[in-house]
Amino acid sequence: MLESPRFGYSDIVSSMARRYDCWMQSNPPQKIVVIGGGIAGLSLAAAVRDWAEVTVLEREPHLGYHASGRSAALFTETYGNRLVRALTLASRQQIVEGGFVAHRRGALHVGWTGDGAAIDRLADELQALVPSVRRLSAAELHALVPAIAIEATCGGAYEPDAVDIDTGKMLAANASALKAGGGLIRAGEEVRAISQDGGGLRVETSGGVYPADIVVNAAGAWVDVVAGLAGLSGLGFQPKRRTAFLFDPPAGTDIASWPLVVDLHEQFYFKPDAGRLIGSLADETDSEPCDAWPEDIDVAIAVDRIEQATTMRIGRPSTPWAGLRTFAPDRTPVAGFDPRLPGFFWLGGQGGYGFQVSLTLARLSAALMRGEPLPEDVAALGVTAAALAPDRFLVPATTL
């Protein structure tokens, strides 16, 4: 007769722990340093926290200081080029399940007298991408947004399922997930140099030195600047300033159900926000990387255009601000290792799409870092690693 084993559950746990310790000694977690504490860097850091030791470095005193903290984020499946739309589609489930939907907003592209044919074409184009899009008549548009007079418009193209994203909640959730997984966030530290160190990399900051197997360049408007700290030429990223402001709706008007209203010719937009309206010139003004500041003339032009297109009288708006939306030369995000410096990973150019694509780019980037195929749902939408790789902007070396 076999005797019962003379060890209990605690012995099994101890044995498993010893095996895990041995495995960890021979397979230590990778050290990943993420430069940039906006939504791009935080999403990536949270996505790799289970298998890597992650440190996020942010130059500013708090996370999301620049573009991420100044975004009037809307999740819309009709925004951007084909690859951006695919990344957006792949992100919807995570955004919904994460509880990051703040409001079902809708997005309305408005045409004016004489724009009927253009609106018809736009509605057909958007319906091919998103079947829920529909063409609104002038009367239907006026019923949805009464501030636009029937006689002023030919109708519009309406995407009912566009939603507002709770940007603060999304930033905080990724930061919390990172910390819960043992990751570190170092705010107020400026990166000063990146160099090779044995088989890895070394990041020197104003507060210390961080060894890394992988350095993620998620520095927003400063991605090319950070590349220079590693001795690399930039990829041609261009920060573009966009200005916005708040103003009051017409007295007695319920704006809660108003969609985002975008001029067909992208001359302005406005949308509800916490009982007031956000207005913008929808500008894209080239800028150096900086702490962007609104220009009075941009605010004034936007006010005039909105007043000319609606019955609203804005007067002097309040709380103007500006942010930098940074684009790669082809306006498609960049995610991938730089072939010129092993371990240096680009994650930039999310432009005006950051919050709606960052979670998918994080999952995708995590797979690339581990040498794995792209997530199946992302690949099924036609996204490839080559289409996002930094290599597409590098001039091949000539051979003699």
What pLDDT, on the 0 to 100 scale, is given for residue 67?
67
CA 141 remoteness from chain centre:
30
CATH of domain 30-68+167-236+330-391: 3.50.50.60
Return the pLDDT at 352. 85
Of the options 3.30.9.10, 3.40.50.10810, 3.60.21.10, 3.40.50.11900, the CATH number for the domain spanning 105-163+238-327: 3.30.9.10
Q: What angle do CA 331, 336, 340 make, to 5 degrees?
A: 110
What is the average pLDDT value for the chain, to the nearest integer? 90
pLDDT of residue 73: 81
Pairing of strands 209-212, 200-205: antiparallel
85 has a pLDDT exceeding 70: yes
Contact in structure between 254 and 241 (CB atoms under 8 Å): no
pLDDT number for residue 341: 97
**Alpha-carbon span 1 to 33, nearest angstrom:** 57
pLDDT digits (tens, 9 = 90+) for 58-67: 998 887 766 6
Instruction: Give the pLDDT confidence of 182-226 residue by residue, as tens digits.
Output: 999 999 999 999 999 988 999 999 999 999 999 999 999 999 999
Residue 294 vs residues 73, 102, 280, 315: alpha-carbon distances, Å:
18, 26, 11, 17
Domain ranges, ordered by start, for the chain: 30-68+167-236+330-391, 105-163+238-327
pLDDT at 13 over 70: no
d(CA 99, CA 147): 32
Question: Which of the listed ranges 68-72, 166-170, 336-340 does the model predict with the highest average pLDDT?
Answer: 336-340
Q: Residue 237 corresponds to which tokens in the numbers above?
A: 């990223």
Residue-level pLDDT at 19: 45
Per-residue pLDDT tens over the stretch 25-55: 445 689 999 999 999 999 999 999 999 999 9
CA distances from 144 to 56, 106, 123 (A): 44, 11, 17
Average pLDDT of the segment spanning 264-268: 95
Enumerate residues 6+ apart whose C-beta is below 8 A from 205: 57, 186, 189, 190, 191, 192
Chain-centroid distance of CA 390 in Å reads: 18
Residue with tokens 């430069």, as numbered in its chain: 35
Q: What is the pLDDT of residue 14?
A: 46
CB 101 within 8 A of CB 165: yes
Reduced 3-state DSSP string for the chain: CCCCCCCCHHHHHHHHHHHHHHHHHHCCCEEEEEECCCHHHHHHHHHHCCCEEEEEEECCCCCCCCHHHHCCCEECCCCCCHHHHHHHHHHHHHHHHCCCEEEECCEEEEEECCCHHHHHHHHHHHHHHCCCCEEECHHHHHHHCCCCCHHHEEEEEEECCCEEECHHHHHHHHHHHHHHCCCEEEECCCEEEEEEECCEEEEEECCCEEEECEEEECCHHHHHHHHHHCCCCCCCCEEEEEEEEEECCCCCCCCCCCCEEEECCCCCEEEEECCEEEEECCCCEECCCCCCCCCHHHHHHHHHHHHHHCCCCCCCCEEEEEEEEEECCCCCCEEEECCCCCCEEEEECCHHHHHHHHHHHHHHHHHHHCCCCCCHHHHCCCCCHHHHCHHHHCCCCCCC
Sheet with 200-205, strands from edge to edge, namely 191-197, 200-205, 209-212
Q: Which residue in the block uniquely carries the two structure tokens 């995590």?
A: 366
pLDDT at residue 23 tops 60: no
The model's confidence at residue 146, banded by pLDDT at 50, 70 and 90, is very high
Evaluate if residue 20 carries a pLDDT over 60. no
Interval 373-395: pLDDT, tens: 999 999 999 999 999 999 999 97
Compute and round to an integer the Cα radius of gyration of the chain.
Answer: 24
Please, what sign has the CA dihedral across residues 79, 85, 89, 94?
negative
